[in-house]
Amino acid sequence: MQKYLNKWLSTGYDLFGKDHSSSAARFYRWGFKGRFDEATASAPPKDLDRLNEEARNLYYKEDRQIIDSLNSLIPEGKPKLRAPDPKFNRQIGDYAGKPYGVDGNLLSEKEYQEHLKKVLPGIEDLRILDTIFKEKHWLVAGNVQT
């Protein structure tokens, strides 16, 4: 499960757009774009050119809160889930193509390639999911069946 959080949350971070974006600022001024917390924000944006980065940081904060809730269901002594750092596995923005690990630490290119093999889903993970998805009631929790 952690590998899929690493994959899909890091992909989601890119969906906010580049960290520094004059077009995001323009769309905000024109009323076409709002902030992630627009309804509850008590002050205007600090830097209109960094709206995407601000939204991504709020999304990351929310991800961590949701994952913390999920972690309460994990038995004591078992590994807890966590959101990857927003610098990890980025394809656009300030951290695009840079070898940051899931913890946000900068790695060498060689270390990064090895790290990716450990923290992102691979062939074996797909096989495990394929087996699960073939079960008739794979989505039903516990022994409860509909």
- Digit-coded pLDDT (tens) for 88-115: 999 999 999 999 999 999 999 999 999 9
Whole-number CA gyration radius for the chain: 19
- Residue 94 CB contacts under 8 Å (≥ 6 apart), including other chains: 18, 19, 20, 53
Residue extents of the structural domains in the chain: 2-134
- Whether residue 36 contacts residue 61, with contact meaning beta carbons closer than 8 Å, is answered with no
- Digit-coded pLDDT (tens) for 43-88: 888 888 888 998 899 999 999 999 999 999 999 999 999 999 999 9
